[in-house]
A and B are shown apart, each in its own frame.
Chain A
């Protein structure tokens, strides 16, 4: 099996490297443009890049030749405003726009669905394409759910879908996570949705809301591919584990140096192994003691090992965003990128890291080609 390529979406372009090249960076695409998400479809091999041009809006590009050339394709679009409907005002009193603000997550459908794509967006719309991105449909069953109006913005002004997990054995089961709107699941290929996630707690909300699954600030949701009922989540208020595909959660206490963070990655084969990147919560959002660290559990969250080798500190203030940590399908090779423009890779399951660059633009997302 060829070593995987790694695509890195940054504030100023899309970068590429691979183990085969000795982790040398190739010439970037979209240099100067703000890349919010990237996906290489594991079945069609098409590469998708989401851009946020600021002034000119959110765009989507596709490459059918593995990144040699790109074409602009339609971006997901919200349907016309119903002028008779009540505007959506969140609990902070902010009116949520019905126009695309950001493509925050891009995922392929099940392996049997060659041209299926999912896009999670801000302000909270989930979109689906069955023609490789030539056209997109808003998943109206979710958008029109009255409980969806309880969602509100977390780190962003407006709510957004950042995690989309298609069940590896059941193509019709899709689970998404929302900041801030908890976890939602469909078991009928998106025709209907329900809020799941008993056990999560949001101590930063009024007490009567704290246990409501539909308002939780999930930072990132991950699952073990070979045991899909095992899920991990990095929540605003801690790390959680689920053994029933997200329906219920148990908090994992006393994680050092911190249980706050954004990224969460599950080992593809070993259900008891997962990685997290601790930060000081939540008004600081910097590494504890100025040392970048990766935490790994190998026993289902009963204990964590903190790995520092090859990572900077003290006086390192890199923040790792939720989409900026990934593992390849072997479970041995990891990559991590930071807001400071540092890119590191590990070839031993996260124990030690090597620096690819300390001078990239701020890194929003990275991912291995899971082909």
Chain B
């Protein structure tokens, strides 16, 4: 099952341990995490569901291509989804 890892800086604000989440896309996998921790959604996505401007997600080392719908496919069971701060906007 894919692994979802959040920047440690986020832990100061909201509960977000490394977790496993199933999903055919990054959006679906994250949705599984947000179901368990609803407050976390607003720290990663804006209210339109897009990735926040100064956040970045890496899927198996590659930056997310679809920042609006997060539709990048998660094809491998051992995928790693890293949710991090972009080096901007700080």
Contacts and interface: CB of A to CB of B under 8 A. Distances in A.
A343 to B, nearest CB: 25
A200 interface: no
Contact of A54 (B42, B48, B50, B89): B89
Contacts of B42: 57, 59, 75
A99 B85 CA distance: 19
Contact of B46 (A53, A54, A57): A57
A78 interface: yes
B90 A54 contact: yes
B13 interface: yes
A53 B86 CA distance: 13
Contacts of A56: 10, 13, 43-44, 52, 55
A189 interface: no
Nearest to B45: A57
Interface in A161-192: none
B39 interface: yes
A251 interface: no
A130 interface: no
A33 B87 CA distance: 18
Contact of A55 (B39, B47, B50, B55): B55
Contacts of B86: 55
A114 interface: no
Contacts of A53: 13, 43
Contacts of A78: 47-48
A57 B39 CA distance: 12
Interface string B43-61: 1101110101011000000
A55 B54 contact: yes
A54 B54 contact: yes
A78 B85 CA distance: 23
A6 B51 CA distance: 37
Interface string A36-70: 00000000000000000111110100000000000
Interface residues on A, range: 10 to 19
Interface residues on B, range: 10 to 19
A78 B42 CA distance: 12
Nearest to A81: B48
A155 interface: no
B39 A99 contact: no
A143 to B, nearest CB: 14
Contacts of A55: 9, 52, 54-55, 85-86, 89-90
Interface string A96-113: 001110000000000000
A194 B89 CA distance: 36
Given A54-B90, A55-B85, A55-B89, A99 B54 contact: no
A77 interface: yes
Contacts of A57: 42-43, 46, 52
A175 B55 CA distance: 36
A80 interface: yes
B47 A100 contact: yes
Contacts of A81: 48
A99 B90 contact: no
Nearest to A58: B42
B80 to A, nearest CB: 20
29 contacts: A53-B43, A54-B54, A54-B89, A54-B90, A55-B52, A55-B54, A55-B86, A55-B89, A56-B10, A56-B13, A56-B43, A56-B44, A56-B52, A57-B42, A57-B43, A57-B46, A59-B42, A72-B14, A72-B39, A75-B42, A78-B47, A78-B48, A81-B48, A98-B48, A99-B46, A99-B47, A99-B48, A99-B50, A100-B47
* Top 5 A-B residue pairs of the complex, sorted by shortest distance between their CB atoms: A77-B47, A99-B46, A56-B43, A55-B54, A55-B85
